[in-house]
Structure 1
C-alpha cells in the first residue's frame, strides 16, 4: 500500500528505536525464494539498481530504484529478481521500543514510499551503510543521524512528487470536464475515473484550482451557454440542454446567479444590439 507522508513523518520523528543492522546485497538475475519470512525486526528496503518482486503477507511490490519499501517483522515473504540484471539493495533493520509499538503500528505494517530517483539519497545510503558497519558509540550515533537525514530526504521528495502528481490529476480532470461538460457528469463518477473518492477529488481541486470540481463544471457550462446565447439563434431550452442541464428553469436560475442576468434577457439584449 501507499504510505501517508504526514503519518510517516510523525512516526519516524516520535518513535524510540534502535538500528540493528544495515546490509548491502547483490542478487543474481532469476534468483527466487518462496515461502520464507521477514526478520524478527522491522525493515526498510532501499533499491539501488535492478528490479525485484517481493510479496509481503500476500501483497506484491515491484521494487526498483526510486522507491522505498517497509515490511513488518515475521511476515510471509516471496521474492524474485526480475529481468536480466543484478538486483542490488540496502536493507535496514530497526527495533521499536515495546511502548511505541501500540501507539505507532506502522512498525508492523508493509507499505511503500515513492520519492523518485535521487542521486543524493543514493550517496547518503552508501555513507550510512559504511558508517553502520563500524563499531563504537560515536559511529552508531552518526549512523542514526544519517538515517534521519535519509528519511527526511525520502519524505521530502515523496511529498513533492505526490504534489506534482496531484496537480497533474486535477489538470486532467479539468480537461475532461472541458470536453464533456454537456454530459450529465456527477462528482462521484468523475472521482471514480481517477481512483478517488468525491471528498479526495474536492480536496485536490480546492488545493490546486481554488474551487470545488462542481464549481469548475458550472463555470464551464455557464461560459459556453453565454457564448451560445450571444452567437446562435438557439432557444434558452436548447442552450440549457446543450450545456448539460435538462431543466431549463434550473439552468436559468443558475445562469442568473452566476452572471447577474437571465439567459433570455442576455439573448434579447444581444439581438437588440446586433439587429
Structure 2
C-alpha cells in the first residue's frame, strides 16, 4: 500500500498511542514462519540481512533502509532471504483512543523507505536499551524516544522522495541562514539531514542553480558586505563573523566574487554608494 507521509505524520499527531513492546530478533538464513499474528500494530526496522514479510498476502522485501508497518491481528508469513543473518527491531504500540474513520493504523500495512540514516539507527539503539530498563522515568523516556524515532523516520522518508525536494531545500537553506557563521561543510549538512552529498547538490542546483557549497559562500559574502558597511571592524573580524577563520582566504574569495578587496569595497561604497557595481549573488 502506498502511503502519504504527510497524512501519516498528521494521523500520528492526532492519535493517542503508547509503546507496548520493543523487541530485537535475530534469525539464521533459510528460517521461515507462517501464520504469525500480533495483537497490536507495529513497525519493523531492519538492522541487518534481508527478509520477506507477507501481510495478509501482500509481500514486502525488507533490507536496511526500508521499514514496514503491520496492522493488528494480520496474517503474517516471514522468510529470511540470502546467506546473511537477519536482524531487526520490532516496535509494537497500542492505540489509546478510537481512530478517525477515514484511516486506521490497526488495519493498515505499508512500507516506508527512509534510506540508511545513521541518526535513525542511533535512536533505535537507544530506544532498545531504554526499553530493557525498569522504572517510571525510563518508561516515560521510552515513550518520548519512540516519538523521536517516528519523527526522524517521517523526515527521512520525506527527504528521500521527489515531493520533499522543496521542503528539504527550505530546511537546509534556512539552517545555513541561521548558522552561516559556524564551521559548516557540505558533508556535515548532508549527514545532518540524513541524505548523501549527491542528493544535496541536486536539490540546491534545482532551486538555486548552484551547489550547496557555492550557496553557502555566496550567502556568507553577502553578509560580509553588510558587515563591512555597518561597522569599522577589522577585515579579520568580519571574516570570522561570517564563518572564515582565515582572513586572507576570505579576502581572496571576496575579490574573486566582487572584483575588489573587502577594504576597497568599504571605501568605495562609502564614498560613492550609488556608483559602485559588483557581481554579487543576492540570496
Partner of 2:30: 30
- Which digits, 9 at most, give the CA deviation of each residue in 1:17-62, with x for residues without a partner? 121110011111110112x132111111000010000100000000
1:3 and 2:33 are equivalent in the alignment: no
Give the Å deviation of 1:101. 6.2
Q: Is the 8 A contact 1:70 1:112 kept in 2?
A: yes
* Whole-angstrom distance in 1 between the partners of 2:93 and 2:100: 12
Q: Is the 8 A contact 1:15 1:104 kept in 2?
A: no
Partner of 1:72: 71
Give the Å deviation of 1:150. 1.1
Q: Is the 8 A contact 1:101 1:107 kept in 2?
A: no
* Whole-angstrom distance in 2 between the partners of 1:165 and 1:78: 33
| RMSD, aligned CA | 2.0
Gapped runs of 5+ residues in structure 2? 167-205, 208-283
Aligned pairs (5 A) from 1:112-131: 112-131=111-130
- Which digits, 9 at most, give the CA deviation of each residue in 1:222-256, with x for residues without a partner? xxxxxxxxxxxxxxxxxxxxxxxxxxxxxxxxxxx
| Aligned partner of residue 90 in structure 2, secondary structure | strand
Partner of 1:63: 62
Structure 2 CA distance for partners of 1:68 and 1:105, relative to 1, 3 Å: same
How many matched pairs? Answer: 168
Give the Å deviation of 1:106. 2.2
Gapped runs of 5+ residues in structure 1? 168-207, 210-275
TM-score where L is the length of structure 2? 0.56
* Whole-angstrom distance in 1 between the partners of 2:140 and 2:130: 10
- Greater C-alpha radius of gyration: 1
* Whole-angstrom distance in 2 between the partners of 1:23 and 1:73: 16
Structure 2 CA distance for partners of 1:52 and 1:165, relative to 1, 3 Å: farther
Q: Is the 8 A contact 2:15 2:97 kept in 1?
A: no
* Whole-angstrom distance in 2 between the partners of 1:124 and 1:166: 24
Structure 2 CA distance for partners of 1:84 and 1:60, relative to 1, 3 Å: same
Aligned pairs (5 A) from 1:139-150: 139-150=138-149
Give the Å deviation of 1:98. 4.0
Q: Is the 8 A contact 2:158 2:164 kept in 1?
A: no
* Whole-angstrom distance in 1 between the partners of 2:103 and 2:15: 7
Bigger share in helix: 1
* Whole-angstrom distance in 2 between the partners of 1:15 and 1:3: 17
Partner of 2:278: none
